Structure formats: structure tokens, C-alpha cells
Amino acid sequence: MWKLIGFILYVILYYSVLDVYTVWPVESFKSVFFKVMPVMHLVFVVISTSMDDDVKVKSSRYRWNTVLGLITCGIGDCCMIFADCFNAGSIMFAIAHLFYIRAFGIYPMGSKPMAASFAVAAVAVYFFLIDMLPMSLFKVAGITYLLVIITMAWRSMVILHSEKSFGSFLACFGAILFMVSDILLTVDKFHESFSRAPFWVMLTYYGAQLGLALSACDTHSQYSIKKDY
């Protein structure tokens, strides 16, 4: 738990130093540093925990895909600071979700009703946020990103239903928070800004990354004792 103190401090520094409760951080390397440090510290938490001899962590496939997902998100955070790199940041986050999907795996497939519920959710989000955008490469990218993050959330829910462990709960909680954060960001950036949007978007984002990272450090999951696959 002491390793999480650094994460909490970095989050506090992000808000206090950059004063981003109501406005987004300015384009500067200072903003890049303080925005990315909480996520990079989570990379340290996952890697350092996997090196502890007295801790049985999840398979290396799960851990290292989670680490790669966190690192890719960190790169995406850097890009998002600069307006001209927003699209590049979105691509990096989509790649990060692919790493998270690979960590969760494609088996078991889960129940058909569960898959159908996420498909309905994807359609609802599409008509609520994306459909009104003019047809362009940007709209196609938005649809692709939606499919990727919905798949990531679906796979986390399947693992939770299969394992019923605290680690799988953290992963599912993180995945759902990631969706919430992206929905809030999309509403603020492309529809109508709302009060304290930068605060809530980043708070849910950091909470999402925390849940995903801690799921790779869980010691009670069934996957903890399985061999790499």
C-alpha cells in the first residue's frame, strides 16, 4: 500500500500545481510532466510488485500487457496536452485498450446476454455522441475507438463474472471508469462543456488507471497461480 502514496501525491500535484479544476492545462512540458507522472508511477507499482519474492502476482502476460497499456496511455497523455496532437493521443489510447484486451484474453467468451448488453451500450453511445458528427475520417476514428473501448470493458466484465475475485473487480471497475472518463471528455470537447469538466474527466481517468494497475498486482485471483499463456 505504501507504493500508492506516490500515486496519490502525483495526482494532488497535478491538480494543485497546474490548477486544472475548471480549465485544461496549458500546452507546456510542465503540464506534460505533472499529467503523466501518476500513470508512470503506476507502471512502477506493477513492475516492482512483480519482483517481490513473497507476492504471487498474475501471469506475466497479464502484467506486462497492463504495463504496456499504462505506458501507451502515458504517451497518449503527452499528446493530449497539445491541441495539434489530439488525434495522435486518441490513437495511443486505442492501442492501450488493445493491450488491456490482450491482458484480459478472449476466453472465456462469456454469456450472449452480456455481450448483447455491451453491444446495445455501444449503439447508445454512438447515437448519443458520434452520430451527429459529420461523416469524415474523424468520425470513423471515433467509431473505431468506441468499438475498442467497449470490447475492453466487455472482456473485463466477463473475467469478473468468471473469476469473482477482487482483482477482476478492480479491472472491471477501472474499465468502466475509463468509459465514463472518455464519455465526459467527448461531451466536453465536442458537444457542450460542463462545470469542472477537466476535474471530473481526469479524476475518473486516474481512478480507471489505478483499478487496472492494481488488478495486475492482485494476489487472490485464480490467474495468480496459472502459468503464462
pLDDT tops 70 at residue 91:
yes
pLDDT mean over 167-190: 94
Output the pLDDT for position 208: 98
pLDDT tops 80 at residue 122:
yes
d(CA 217, CA 82): 32
Q: pLDDT tens digits, residue range 126-141?
A: 998 888 777 777 888 8
Output the pLDDT for position 62: 92
Domain interval for residue 106: 3-225
Q: Which residue has the higher pLDDT, 191 or 213?
A: 213
Q: How confident is the model at residue 108 (pLDDT cuts 50, 70, 90)?
A: confident
Task: Identify the CA nearest to 72 among candidates 95, 52, 90, 54.
Answer: 95
Output the pLDDT for position 129: 85
Radius of gyration (C-alpha) of the chain in whole angstroms? 17
Output the pLDDT for position 52: 55
Cis peptide before 108 (omega within 30 of 0): yes
pLDDT tops 70 at residue 143:
yes
| 121: its cell numbers | 451500450
**What's the domain count of the chain?**
1
Backbone angles phi, psi at 138, to 5 degrees: -65, -40
d(CA 154, CA 112): 11
Output the pLDDT for position 211: 96
CB 31 within 8 A of CB 85: no
